[in-house]
Amino acid sequence: MAQIGSVLRAANAAAGATSTVLSAAGDEVSAAIASLFSAYGQEYQALSARVWAFHDQFAAALAGAGTAYAAAEAANANPLEALTQGVLNVINAPTNALLGRPLIGDGADGAAGTGQPGGMGGLLFGNGGNGGSGTDGGGTGGRGGDAGLFGNGGRGGAGGTGSTGIQGVDTVTRNGGVGGTGGQGGAGGAGGLLWGNGGAGGSGGTGGWGGYGATAPNAGVAGGTGGNGGSGGAGGAGGAHLSLFGQNGAAGQMGDGGRGGFGGSGSLIGGAGGLGGDGGTGATGGRGGDGGSSGYSTLGNNFTDVTGGVGGKGGVGIAGAGGAGGNGGSAFIWAGGGSGNAVGGQGGQGGSGSTVGGAGGDGGPGSLMGYNYGPGGGSGYAIGGAGGMGGTGPTGGHGGDAAYALNWGSGTATGGSGGYGGTGSPGHGGSGGDGADAEATTLANAFAGFGGSPGTGGGGTPGKAGTASAL
């Protein structure tokens, strides 16, 4: 169109010179010829002006049509879908008004975190909606919606996570509370009466963490025990198939076990570390909580031993791996002339699993530092905690490292024993944990530390013995 307009402009400009042609002479014939050509030029200019106006109008109309077409394409990207939805709205209006259910179409999904059930599918055609997941604190997942004559049942919603156990309080009870059980998964919806499968059940919620044990407030008092982790919630039942052509929905899997709470620290003066809570039972077992650290012992020539808290056991894995055992807590003595032991907490036992057993927790480190400016310092022992025994099929935990003994008298550091490897069933047995290294340093009579004993393999490879050295 732009080229056509340009040609018209050039032709109109060239015709302008012929519209006022002068006669070659003053006779009547020349005047008549000049008048004829001038009339032709003027008529062409008038016609050209009309053609140019038509060109402008046509170009404007074409541009407007292009804009309108683009807008129509954008507004109706899929006119068939809009048309289909409009027809379905008309068809479904009576049954929605009477039964609250469409005649044709899928049911709506329940909102997450609410436990809402899925909407029912259309009476004739349509799948049931999926149930919403359960609320936190162990809420049950929503049930999947049922199908009508033709369609699959909706999937049940997952159960909510169990609540966390109450934390221990040093003025009331130092022990942490048990974690809440995970919510049950929602049941799957029923399949269609003439054709369709039942919906799968929702998985159970994860068990809540156990509460932490509190730190002991008074001298010589042990830290609070960590709460056990909550069990995983039960899986929802699979939906039934009601027709000859279909299958029942699969049941939901049990939720994972919650982690055990950490043991509280012993009192600053002479308190043992609190026990770690056991992991919860679940499809995968929860990890055991770590044992609490002991306090110091600075009671001169008369003081008791201090021990780090034992790590919690790993939870049993019903359909998967067992939970790992918690690590043992550390122990520390600052002694003034007296004899005493700083014993690291034993690592927790790994949980049994249907596929892989949980690893045993590492033993806690034991350390001792002493001083005695008078004659004949007492002896001190720093003993690393033993590694936890592995569950069925894993590797045993490593023995805890013994730190060092620093004493004007004599000091001995003993590495913890390696944990026993778990029994292999049906796979290979676990390897025994390695014994811990030990070191001893004194300013008078020094004894080299004893290396920890190697762990025994449960049908697997025994661990290595720890090394001993004197600095």
pLDDT given at position 320: 84
For residue 269, report the phi and psi dihedrals to the nearest 5 degrees.
-110, 100
Are 260 and 289 in contact by the 8 Å Cβ rule? The answer is yes
Which residues have a Cβ under 8 Å from the Cβ of 278 and sit 6 or more positions away?
A: 210, 228, 229, 260, 288, 289, 312, 313, 314, 315, 348
For tokens 């929602």, what's the residue?
186
How would you write 134-198 as a 3-class SS string? CCCCCCCCCCCCCCCCECCCCCCCCCCCCCCCCCCCCCCCCCCCCCCCCCCCCCCCCCCCCECCC
pLDDT given at position 360: 77
pLDDT given at position 445: 39
Identify the DSSP state of 8.
H
How would you write 355-391 as a 3-class SS string? CCCCCCCCCCCEEEEEECCCCCCCEEEEECCCCCCCC
Nearest to 348 by CA among 268, 286, 426, 414: 286
Take residue 186 and report the two structure tokens written for it. 């929602």
pLDDT tens over the chain, length 471 residues: 556 556 656 666 665 555 455 555 567 777 777 777 777 777 777 887 888 788 788 888 888 888 877 777 766 666 667 777 788 888 889 988 888 889 999 999 999 999 999 999 999 999 999 999 999 999 999 999 999 999 999 999 999 999 999 998 877 678 999 999 999 999 999 999 999 999 999 999 999 999 998 888 877 788 889 999 999 999 999 999 988 888 999 999 999 999 999 988 887 777 888 889 999 999 999 999 888 887 766 544 445 567 877 888 888 888 888 888 888 877 766 544 445 566 777 777 887 877 777 777 777 676 655 443 333 333 445 555 566 666 554 444 444 443 333 333 334 444 444 444 444 444 344 444 444 444 444 433 334 444 444 444 444 455 454 444 444
If residue 57 lies in a helix (H) or strand (E), which one and from where to where?
helix 28-75
